[in-house]
Structure 1
Amino acid sequence: MNDSIDYYLEIGLFNKDEKKFYNKAIDYTEKAIELAREKKNNSKLTECYLQLATIYYDIEKNDLAIDYYIRAINGYNKNFPLTNLALSYYGLGKCYLRKDNIRVAEIYFEKAALLYKKLNFTEAIELINLQKGIIQKEKKNYSESKKIIQSVVNKLEDDAFSSTKTEAFFQLGEIEMKQNEYAKAILFYKKALEINEKNNVDVESKKKLFKQLSEAHEKNKNNFEAFTYLKKFTRLNDSIEKTFINYDSENMIDKSQFDEQLKTIEQLDKEKKSQQKTLRFSKLISILSIALISILSLLSLSLYRNNKIRISTNKLLKEKNKELLAEKERTELASKARADFLSTVSHELRTPLNAINGITYLLLQEKPKASQLNYLKSLEFSGNYLLNFINDILEINRLESDKVVIEKIDFNLIELTENIVNSFQEFIHENNINCHLDIDKSINYNLKGDPTKLSQILINLLNNAIKFSVNGDVWLTIKQKNETHNGIVTLYFEVKDNGIGIPKEKQKAIFDSFSQGSVEINRTYGGTGLGLSIVKKILELVNSEIHLTSEFGEGSTFSFELIFEKGANKIIKEDAENYLNIFTSKKILLVEDNKINQMITQKMLEKVAIDCKIIDNGEDAIEDIKVNNYDLILMDVHLPGINGTEATTEIRKFNSTIPIIALTAISLNENREMLLSFGMNEVITKPFEPKHFYKIIAQYLTNPLLSDS
């Protein structure tokens, strides 16, 4: 099996490096990942993640590259080669540098440099130093940048490290260009070109140098030299012109054929003189000659016109291509702006919302007066509604990006559906619904797939069915459609109701974002209008589709099919834990700068007999942990001074066992894997739901070994 993993890795690498077939490279590497997971071979799985990260970096899918570099880093331990870990840190640095996040790029380059120094890997160390010089150039610290890059040049030999040294001289030339020192820039570019040609580094690098030399000479008023280097660049780059030349040569009259025709005419003339042919025959020869010349002239004219048309068309295509590229860049900038806006707004909304939901929960626990209870229940409903609305908007944006990863883990379908239906019991009771759960009895095994995505689909469909079927019935039906010999099963899911139904003219638009059929429906039943849009996008991600059958006033039926693998063992249900016995006499450090969040979290901890100490910044928290013992740390991610991730990194240098749980109003730019990579053990999202909050804390207080996993 290991041979098969290595085989797929090698084929993927060959398609990436030699053939530049990136889609095939991704396919073969993912096959290697699948085999490594089946075999539970963590060392090979980590190697696969690293290779997939480098492929995504090469095709400029930076977010996916970051995700797989982090997975690779999380998989490394003391038994793995330090070179791979260093390469992962270096790759992350390059990704964040490309995303203009210079601060994070510097952190990862420094981590990689420390490991390469341990390995005494000279070229890698200097390559990282070169990246540091480039960072200083981006910051416009040109003097510091030149100092760093010149040091790289002085330490490397031309023959041994030609690629790195070529890039170093190129970057020195770029700095001089930015400072309008064109003569100096030309010297550096020529030095880079000399090393490139001597060691045959690569064609792309040579093309880049020809282009910059042409531009530098033009800026320096050396027009002849500028033109010379531009011609060299064109010879390497202009493949379109080669196509035209080849096309023209195919359409030209064969020269040997033309010469043969001339010889024939000359022979006819000789025969005419020798045989004293009549004047009439001579005139015929003349006419034929004129006709041939006319044909050749017309053909030449036609070829000339075709060339002009091709050149004109090519110019037009190039202009249109520039317009399309500019439009693509504008679209990408708009998409990034929207994502950044949603990220900022969601974070800023979650922080006060945490205060609203937290204070409401605490007041409800203090046995309020009957007159106050309705107000608090209304406040609780409004807070939860707003939180669901924010989550739906973020989920739509995440599904439209390339950040969604489909999991493949074991889960129990019956347990999952029962839990979902039970979570709706209060809503079912409020709407006086008869809820019918019908699961095929032959599905008595576990499944392997993505239970989170399935839960999102069923929760959205059941929520709509219950909401629009007051005093009616709702059916959830699951049937096995077929099963293959190798354990692949296809299941049919159906959510049916006998509620208000959907008019025919509204059924196509019902899956669009913020669509609910009509303004009256929105006012009567509420909701965001995002649920069915989320369902549709999730099913598209897993190569399925949603089907709707509905008549106005007679209810609706939503159905879909999903493919799963059969799972291995039964999943054991967890028993409810006695949290109060677990929490008594425990000591927790809360690192949080927001005063309201401090008060809410402290009250929730003291309510279950946990002793809580509060520190409002990362620096003081680090010093306090050095001298005091705690059972667990709750660490806010966004702190003044050094943030929560940086504080966690410092704590792990002297304490690797204490559980550290991140508290964050998580945004689109953050993810659980990224936070865990800094040494945190778990993430709780603000505003946190109390039962989930207590459950996570209880898990790490009862089983400290979780912090080592």
Structure 2
Amino acid sequence: MKKKISFQILLFFLVTFSGYSQSLYKEVAEINDSVDYYLEIAIFNKEDKKSFNKAIVYTEKAIDFAINNKLEHKLADCYLVLGGIYYDLEKPETAIEHFIRSINIYTKEDANSNLALAYYNLGKCYLEKDKPELSEIYFKKATSIYQSLEFDDAIELINLQKGILQKNKGNINIAEEIFKKVIANISDSNALIETKIEAYYQLGEIYFTKLNYDAAIDAFETAHKINLNNNKNIVLQKKVLKKLSEVLAETSDFKRSNIYLNRYITISDSIGEYYSKYLSDNTFEKIEFDKQLKTIELLDKEKKNQQKTLRFSKLISILSIALISILSLLSLSLYKNNKIRISTNKLLKEKNLELTLEKERAEKASKARAEFLATVSHELRTPLNAINGITYLLLQEKPRANQLNYLKSLEFSGSYLLNFINDILEINRLESDKVMVENINFSLTELLDNIKTSFKEFILSNNINFHQSIDSNINYNVVGDPTKLSQVLINLINNAIKFSKNGDVWLTINEVENDGENVKLFFEIKDNGIGIPKDKQKDIFDSFSQGSVEINRTYGGTGLGLSIVKKILEILGSDIHLESESNHGTKFTFTLDFKKGASIKTENLQQSTDETIFIDKNILLVEDNKINQMITKKMLEKKGMECTVLENGEDAIENLKENQYDLVLMDVHLPGINGTEATAIIRKFDSKTPIIALTAISLNENREMLLSFGMNDVITKPFIPEEFYNTISNHLTVSQ
């Protein structure tokens, strides 16, 4: 016989999103009693005293206590209660945030009624925000858990919401059947009586829509009668009375319509006084202001500490300069005396020691900077992977036309932020003095064609006439660094297109010197766009410089492109020249020396991936980030692959000893044993299974390091879907 949920547990669901009775917190350890004590006070203030500000304050205290004492299971309960309070304050966005936090903690444990309640509450929030697709997802999750727990009565709560969802989507007949079943499954003495009343109300609205006024009146009057006899919920009574008045007016029964209308007005006035009494303290705004004030105080304290450190550094620098000056004067004045010379030598040794220490400090600072950039790259790219990955998956699922614009905007924003991060990392890499210049034989013509192709969409969207002129004498390949030349040309052409909308852009390359083995080539990128004012030209190659704030707001960009161009050309032994006038366009020129190269037979190396290679392949994903787990697994399964997910390197090692996989995707940064250490151990007993590193660090020098541990390839987060699938395909092909 299936379990029936008790009256107390039903109240747990029916109290709007608070979900907690006082008896829930009694039989717990002493340290947990403190969390439960705060929650009890919070719920008492919300439900009995309607003092929402105190409810929030005590729930926040419970959260702080749970965090400080590492009571993760209690922390989930706190977020669930706080979400309910904000929902009652008509702050669904904030409520959603806290419900999701509670779900993320609950899902680390076995499914329970609290997790089901969180899913149910989240579904109601999204239903109120008119997002039926998301609402339906979370109602299904809640239903699945309740069914597994055999809580039959609780499922009727969700069935009611599903009926409302179908009604909002226009599926009137389906909704009608659902409401009828809910009514049939709930007796008038059941603790879920408000659910039955709401079902009658929704059924009445459907009949009203169908112009079946008699049936509508009957449904609304039944709801009104049950409410008066069993529940007396003033909010339900108010909306039922309003609908009865409207339907009776449609049937010209104005006498009864006015009776119900007067009752509605009387109740509305009482509710207005009720809420003005208990919500007059600007609860939400006050709490948010207190949080912001606390954050500002913390930031101010950190700023003062930084200023103190800076002043100390300046003082050390001044003292160091003063010490060096004194030592120099002493060396000069004591040079003639042997005794003084010994003293001078001693001072010089001390100075050398100081310089050695300063050198070590400088090396540590350089190392710290590199580690900082690696950390920044990882911490920014990890959430970016979630943004770009989820956007890609949603775009693949044929979104509605009104959703497509939002998703495209999100995709653009993610790409813009990724380019910004890449530019910052690139400018720091160029300043590190560790950049190597390649000397590769390549076709200049093919390189230019590839660049022009990559700008095709950008040229069309900006209505640009693009002119390309290459000296006919350049009928040879050259030896140089094609990657750095591409970076220079792409940055300059991108700027020319961006600032010359509906105009013209010219790319010209001429041969200026040729001695048979070596050539000097002249490059010119010109446009007839907005130009650069004379007073801004001297600063235009500085980092983060764009001429003016207005230009940055109008055209966007990081302000690093020209700085990158200048540094690359300096590395290549050249420099860049600028000619420009406001509203008369801009011209950039530079020259580069090359050796003539051997001819290359160009072939179309682009191959389309045979997606049948993915079917039924068994992939092991080792990833500790929940969102990245979901995105990566979804991308694999879309191509027909099966995916097993593990969260740490220890489990991956043991699992691979017992099981075989076609390929392993190994996150580099894992708790405990990291991805590189785990790969090195795996390679001691398995040298065949392909292992591909997943990393949010995009520093080129790390690739060789990762491969040295036995990894076969590297995929950088955020994933570019085509590169992600191509890399996997290459190693699946090799492993067959």
TM-score range relative to shorter protein: 0.5 to 0.7
**Partner SS for 1:407:** coil
Offset of residue 407 of structure 1? 2.1
Answer yes or no: is the 8 Å Cα contact 2:529–2:583 preserved in 1.
yes
Against the structure 1 CA distance between its residues 304 and 401, is the aligned structure 2 distance closer, same or farther, given a 3 Å change threshold?
closer
TM superposition score normalised by structure 1 = 0.53
Counterpart residue number, 1:474: 505
CA drift of 1:478 comes to: 2.4
- In the superposition, the TM-score normalised over structure 2's length comes to 0.51
Cα distance between partner residues in 1 of 2:729 and 2:471 = 36
**What is the deviation of 1:569?**
2.8
State the 1:537 CA deviation: 1.0
**SS state of the match for residue 351, structure 1?**
helix
User: Aligned-pair distance for 1:467?
Assistant: 0.9
SS at match of 2:722: helix
Output the CA distance in 2 between the equivalents of 1:581 and 1:649: 31
Cα gap change, 1:423 to 1:305, in 2 (>3 Å) = closer
**1:520 and 2:547 matched:** no
**1:171-250 correspondence runs (5 A):** none
Cα 1:367–1:394 shift into 2, 3 Å: same
Question: Taking structure 1 as reference, are residues 397 and 391 closer, same or farther at Cα in structure 2, changes over 3 Å only?
Answer: same
Q: Secondary structure at the match of 2:569?
A: helix
My pick for the range that moved more, 542-551 or 645-654, is 645-654
- Cα offsets for 1:301-358 (capped at 9, x unmatched): x999677997898788778777766665555554444333222122111111100110
Match of 1:346 among 354, 377, 386: 377
Distance (whole Å) between structure 1 residues aligned to residue 700 and residue 585 of structure 2: 40
Q: Which moved more, 1:320-329 or 1:608-617?
A: 320-329
Alpha-carbon distance in 2 for matches of 1:467, 1:582 = 41
Letter in 1 for 2:547: G
Counterpart of 1:698? Answer: 729
Displacement of 1:489 after TM fit? 3.0
| Equivalent residues in 2 for 1:247-266, closer than 5 Å | none
Give the conservation status (yes or no) of the 8 Å contact 1:353–1:687: yes
Alignment of 1:172-571 (within 5 A): 331-485=362-516, 487-565=517-595, 566-571=597-602
CA deviation profile, 1:138-191 (whole Å, cap 9, x unmatched): xxxxxxxxxxxxxxxxxxxxxxxxxxxxxxxxxxxxxxxxxxxxxxxxxxxxxx
2:659 to 612, 628, 631: 628
Instruction: Tell me: CA distance 1:352–1:469, structure 2 relative to 1, closer, same or farther (3 Å).
Output: same
Residues 441 and 607 of structure 1: CA distance in aligned 2, closer, same or farther (over 3 Å): farther
How far is the alpha carbon of 1:634 from its aligned partner? 1.5
Task: Provide Cα deviations, 1:679-701, integer angstroms capped at 9, x if missing partner.
Answer: 11211110111122122222223
For residues 324 and 686 of structure 1, do their structure 2 counterparts lie closer, same or farther at Cα, with a shift above 3 Å needed? same
Separation in structure 2 between the aligned mates of residue 683 and residue 424 of structure 1, nearest angstrom: 27
For the residues of structure 1 that align with 2:368 and 2:681, how far apart are their CA atoms? 33
Report the CA distance shift for 1:303/1:327 in structure 2 as closer, same or farther (over 3 A): closer
The amino acid of 1:602's aligned partner reads K
Among 648, 652, 670, the alignment partner of 1:639 is: 670
Q: Alpha carbons of 1:655 and 1:319: their partners in 2 closer, same or farther (altered >3 Å)? A: closer
Counterpart CA distance in 1 for 2:725 and 2:341 is 72
Correspondence for 1:688: 719
Shift of residue 586 of structure 1?
2.7
Distance 1:425 1:333 in 2: 46
Q: Conserved in 2, the CA contact under 8 Å of 1:491 and 1:563?
A: yes
SS at match of 2:540: helix
Q: Equivalents in 2 of 1:658, 1:479: separation in Å?
A: 51
User: Contact 1:411 / 1:571 at 8 angstroms: preserved in 2?
Assistant: no
Deviations 1:392-435 (A, max 9, x none): 11111111113322222333322222222222222222211112
Aligned length: 406
In structure 2, the residue matched to 1:97 is none
Match of 2:188 in 1: none
Q: Give the direction of change, closer, same or farther, for the CA distance of 1:563–1:371 in structure 2 (3 Å limit).
A: same
| Counterpart amino acid of residue 512 in structure 1 | D
RMSD of the alignment, in Å? 3.0
- Counterpart AA for 1:701: L
In 2 relative to 1, CA 330–445 (structure 1 residues): closer, same or farther, beyond 3 Å? same
Q: Could you say what secondary structure the match of 2:374 adopts?
A: helix
1:244-280 deviations in whole A, cap 9, x for unaligned?
A: 9xx9xxxxxxxxxxxxxxxxxxxxxxxxxxxxxxxxx
SS at match of 1:619: helix
Contact 2:545-2:560 within 8 A present in 1 as well = yes
State the identity as a percent: 72
CA distance in 2, matches of 1:520, 1:356: 28
Task: Please report how far the alpha carbon of residue 571 of structure 1 lies from its aligned counterpart in structure 2 after TM superposition.
Answer: 3.6
Distance 1:412 1:658, change over 3 A: farther
> Within 5 Å, which residues of 2 pair with 1:132-151?
none
Q: 1:661, 1:682 within 8 Å by CA — same for their partners in 2?
A: yes
C-alpha distance in structure 2 between counterparts of 1:659 and 1:445, whole Å: 40
CA distance in structure 1 between the aligned counterparts of 2:475 and 2:729, rounded to whole angstroms? 32
Contact residue 334 and residue 340 of structure 2 kept, 8 A: no
Q: How many Å separate the matches in 2 of 1:644 and 1:332?
A: 27
Q: Distance in 1 between matches of 2:641 and 2:454?
A: 28
1:364-413 CA deviation, whole Å, 9 max, x = no partner?
A: 11111122112111111111111111111111111111332222233332
Kindly provide the amino acid, as one letter, of the partner of residue 346 in structure 1.
S
Give, in whole Å, the separation in 1 of the partners of 2:519 and 2:610: 39
CA displacement 1:595-644 (0-9 Å, x = unmatched): 11111111111212222222222222233333433332211111122211
The amino acid that maps onto 1:553 is N
Match of 2:683 in 1: 652
User: Structure 1, residues 642-665: CA drift from partner, whole Å, max 9, x if none?
Assistant: 211122222222333332211101
Q: 1:324 to 1:550 in 2, by over 3 A?
A: farther
State the SS of the aligned residue for 1:671.
Answer: helix
State the distance in 1 between where 2:344 and 2:605 align: 69
Quick check: 1:339–1:397 contact (8 Å CA) kept in 2?
A: no
Amino acid in the other structure paired with 2:579: T
| CA separation of 1:598 and 1:314: change in aligned 2, threshold 3 A | same
Deviates more, 1:310-319 or 1:568-577: 310-319
Residue pair 2:442, 2:600 contacting (<8 A) in 1 also = no
Which of 634, 642, 654 is 1:603 aligned to? Answer: 634
Distance change (3 Å), C-alpha of 1:480 and 1:609:
farther
Distance 2:693 2:551 in 1: 40
2:623 equivalent to 1:592? yes
Task: For 2:438, give the aligned amino acid.
Answer: E
Residue 465 of structure 2 aligns with an amino acid whose one-letter code is: N
Q: Match of 2:259?
A: none
**Cα distance change on mapping 1:512 and 1:629 into 2, 3 Å:** same
Q: 8 Å contact 1:355–1:597 — kept in the other structure?
A: yes
Residue type at the aligned position of 1:643: N
Does the aligned pair in 2 maintain the 1:515–1:529 contact within 8 Å?
Answer: yes
What secondary structure is seen at the aligned counterpart in 2 of 1:514?
coil
Q: Which amino acid counterpart does residue 377 of structure 1 have in structure 2?
A: K
SS of equivalent residue, structure 2 residue 567: helix
SS at match of 1:511: coil
Indicate whether 1:617 and 2:652 are aligned: no
For structure 1, the 5+ residue unaligned runs are: 1-239, 248-301
